[in-house]
């Protein structure tokens, strides 16, 4: 073991989900080393314990893992579990941390951000419950990166073969290369009615899953095809590539265009789904029909009784603040609590650990449950397939029936990417400056009830998170929300979230952009977003 002198690197503050930077930045020694040592210095006593390591297979995944393995040994871990070829989807990593009672895990991913030598890389630390480290720990990691003076690694650097399942060692530390899929697949089989899904897939029902050349390919092939009998052409773009095929593996209507073309085409299958770079996001489509992630969460909750694992009831629901209130209405009808948390999966961890909630979701194509402590793309796909197998209706009829019963929350998110940071801050400040005048005024033909900067006190550990989004809340339940992204690697991204509620069945068939047009106009008016960004339309609309 050697101690290498170092000095702090710029820009090591973890964002919404870990540290994300250009590959070129991570490649500059000691950028990664400093961050990994700062993690090890912030997480408590792990001597003799197990660490889980894996990533989404993007460019630099392999090299990063070798650096981490050498440092983990030098720092005193007794054992590391690594996915074969360095591959672990984010939910699979969470599953493995929990199943093998590891001390924690390092997950290498920049989620849906593009990959390749000139694109993005990322790393985050997950704690022993399998979930992203809470702010207390990420803040401590950041503090360490600011003062770090040395890191520990092995005297001569070892290169571990990750291509075969098996055991090896570096110094006193044992390395177990494990099957990336098996433990996760077992967990899925324990939650869902695989027989019912198998029958559905053996009928004339057709599905298409798009792995977007990212990590879910091998998982989808084993679970959907080998275990559940889906046809050979049911999984597309199934081979993970280190540059994700040059694409942007974000499962939304803009970036998953191949799948969208199929699902809106003449011979569309009954069900379509996609997942992102690291496998934690999901998009759900029916024939010529898109299910918003907010509606999807509400629907999963309303239909949880169809699923073996949730048959006896769920304990509660949590959604991120910008996610629509559709799930709240289901929670209310089931007599359950619904929690509203800041953006980012880490805020759900405490609620799940305390069994206050079973299902969680975010408008950003994230849904999951207490089976792991990450959102889970394939889990959501299997949940939907299980519902479809039980209800024997189309996706569209299940969703429209849901709206008839609970009302429809029209919802959209407009992203303005690559904005100058000053301009982005000013957009939010413009709205903040009008909090007083807006309150109780009329805007978009509605009465404004209140305006605030969303802040959250964790009900379990009482930690407070401030400035989590600028909100204009209306008396009729409509909302306009502005937030700055915490996951981008270049410039700032403004997210504008819009929501209105429609209880009248006759008016539930509108296009969401039309239904929200007056709120969109009002949002531009109060923020001066167009002038400040010089953009006349959003980069992405979902």
**The entry of ligand G1P, Zn ion, none that residue 193 binds, CB within 5 to 8 Å by partner kind:** none
Contact (Cβ atoms closer than 8 angstroms) between residue 387 and residue 99:
no
Pattern of binders to Zn ion over 234-273, x per CB under 5 A? Answer: ----------------------------------------
Contacting residues toward ligand G1P, per CB under 6 A: 16-17, 111, 320, 343-345, 362, 364, 366, 485-487, 495
**How would you class 472 by CB atoms within 10 Å of its CB: exposed for 0-12, middle for 13-18, buried for 19 or more?**
buried
Rounded to 5°, angle at Cα 357 from 356 and 359: 175
Question: Which tokens hold the place of 24?
Answer: 């070129």
Minimum separation from the CB atom of position 323 to ligand G1P (A):
8
CB-CB contact of 283 with 252 (8 Å): yes
Q: Residue 107: beta bridge partners?
A: 54, 124
Residue 499 binds: one of Zn ion, ligand G1P, none (C-beta under 5 to 8 A by kind): none
Using CB under 5 A as the binding rule, whether residue 276 contacts Zn ion is answered as yes
Which does residue 344 bind out of Zn ion, ligand G1P, none, counting CB within 5 to 8 angstroms by kind?
Answer: ligand G1P
| Backbone φ and ψ of 118, nearest 5° | -105, 10
Query: Which of 85, 278, 328, 458 is close enough to bind Zn ion by CB under 5 A?
Result: 278
- 3-state SS assignment for residue 301: helix
Of the candidates 108, 112, 111, the residue with the CA atom closest to the CA atom of residue 88: 108
Backbone φ and ψ of 265, nearest 5° = -80, 180
Stretch that binds Zn ion, among 77-85, 198-206, 274-282, 306-314 (CB under 5 A): 274-282
Q: Which does 362 bind (CB under 5 to 8 A by kind): Zn ion, ligand G1P, none?
A: ligand G1P
> In the complex with ligand G1P, which residue's Cβ is closer, 153 or 367?
367
Which residue is closest to Zn ion by CB? 111
- Which among 361, 198, 218 has a CA at the least distance from the CA of 291? 361
Query: Could you please report the per-residue DSSP string of 188-245?
Result: HHHHS-HHHHHHHHHTT--EEEE-TTSTHHHHHIIIIIIIT---GGGEES-S--TTGG
333 tagged catalytic: no
Q: Which is nearer to Zn ion, 111 or 367 (CB)?
A: 111
Binding partner selected for residue 278 from ligand G1P, Zn ion, none, CB under the kind-specific 5 to 8 Å limit: Zn ion
Which residue, 276 or 376, has its beta carbon nearer to Zn ion? Answer: 276
Is residue 280 close enough to count as binding Zn ion by CB under 5 A?
yes
If one asks whether residue 468 binds Zn ion (CB under 5 A), the answer comes out as no
Q: What is the DSSP string of 5-33?
A: E--PPS----BTTBEEEEHHHHTSTTHHH
User: Which partner, ligand G1P, Zn ion, none, binds residue 73 by CB below 5 to 8 Å per kind?
Assistant: none
| Residue at token pair 């007056």 | 518
* Tokens describing residue 199: 């029958």
Nearest distance in Å: CB 171, ligand G1P: 35
Catalytic residue among 42, 89, 94, 111: 111
Complex with ligand G1P: residue 120 or 193, whichever CB lies closer: 120
C-alpha span between 83 and 89 (Å, rounded)? 9
User: C-beta of 344: minimal distance to ligand G1P in Å?
Assistant: 5
The least CB distance from residue 107 to ligand G1P, in Å, is 12
The catalytic residue positions are: 111
Give residues in contact with Zn ion (CB under 5 A).
111, 276, 278, 280-281
């Amino acid at each position: 073991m050697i101690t290498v002198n170092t000095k702090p690197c710029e820009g090591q503050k973890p964002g919404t989900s870990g540290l994300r930077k250009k590959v070129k930045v991570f490649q500059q020694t000691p950028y990664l080393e400093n961050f990994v040592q700062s993690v090890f210095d912030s997480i408590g006593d792990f001597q003799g314990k197990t660490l889980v390591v894996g990533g989404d297979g993007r460019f630099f995944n392999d090299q990063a893992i070798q650096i981490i393995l050498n440092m983990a040994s030098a720092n005193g871990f007794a054992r590391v579990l690594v996915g074969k070829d360095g591959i672990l989807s984010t939910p699979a990593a969470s599953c493995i941390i929990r199943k093998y009672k590891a001390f924690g895990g390092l997950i290498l991913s920049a989620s849906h951000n593009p990959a390749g030598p000139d694109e993005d890389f990322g790393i985050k630390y997950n704690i022993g419950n399998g979930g992203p480290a809470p702010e207390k720990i990420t803040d401590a990691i950041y503090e360490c990166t600011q003062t770090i003076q040395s890191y520990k690694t092995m005297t001569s650097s070892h290169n571990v073969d990750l291509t075969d399942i098996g055991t090896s060692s570096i110094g006193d530390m044992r390395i177990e290369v494990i099957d990336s899929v098996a433990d996760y697949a077992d967990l899925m089989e324990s939650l869902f009615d695989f027989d019912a899904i198998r029958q559905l897939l053996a009928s004339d029902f057709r599905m298409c899953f798009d792995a977007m050349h990212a990590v879910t390919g091998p998982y989808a092939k084993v679970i959907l095809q080998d275990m559940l009998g889906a046809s050979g052409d049911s999984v597309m773009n199934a081979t993970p590539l280190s540059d994700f095929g040059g694409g942007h593996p974000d499962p939304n209507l803009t970036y998953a265009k191949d799948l969208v073309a199929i699902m809106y085409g003449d011979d569309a299958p009954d069900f379509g789904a996609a997942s992102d770079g690291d496998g934690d996001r999901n998009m759900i489509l029916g024939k010529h029909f898109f299910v918003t992630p907010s509606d999807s969460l509400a629907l999963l909750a309303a239909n949880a009784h169809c699923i073996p694992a949730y048959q006896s009831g769920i304990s509660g629901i949590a959604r991120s603040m910008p996610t629509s209130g559709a799930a709240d209405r289901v929670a209310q009808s089931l007599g359950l609590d619904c929690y509203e948390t800041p953006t980012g999966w880490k805020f759900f961890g405490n609620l799940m650990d305390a069994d206050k909630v079973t299902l969680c979701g975010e408008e950003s194509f994230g849904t999951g449950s207490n089976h792991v402590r990450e959102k889970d793309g394939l889990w959501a796909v299997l949940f939907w397939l299980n519902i479809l197998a039980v209800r024997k209706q189309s996706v569209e009829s299940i969703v429209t029936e849901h709206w008839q019963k609970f009302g429809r929350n029209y919802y959209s998110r407009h992203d303005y990417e690559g904005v100058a940071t000053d301009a982005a801050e000013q957009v939010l400040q413009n709205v903040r400056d009008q909090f007083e005048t807006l309150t109780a005024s009329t805007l978009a033909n509605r009465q404004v009830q209140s305006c605030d900067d969303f802040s959250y006190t964790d009900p379990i550990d009482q930690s407070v998170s401030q400035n989590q989004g600028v909100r204009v809340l209306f008396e009729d339940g409509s909302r306009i929300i502005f937030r700055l992204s915490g996951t981008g690697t270049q410039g700032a991204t403004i997210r504008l979230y819009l929501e209105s509620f429609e209880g009248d069945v006759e008016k539930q068939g509108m296009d969401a952009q039309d239904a929200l047009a007056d709120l969109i106009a009002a949002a531009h008016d109060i923020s001066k977003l167009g002038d400040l960004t010089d953009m006349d339309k959003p980069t992405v609309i979902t």
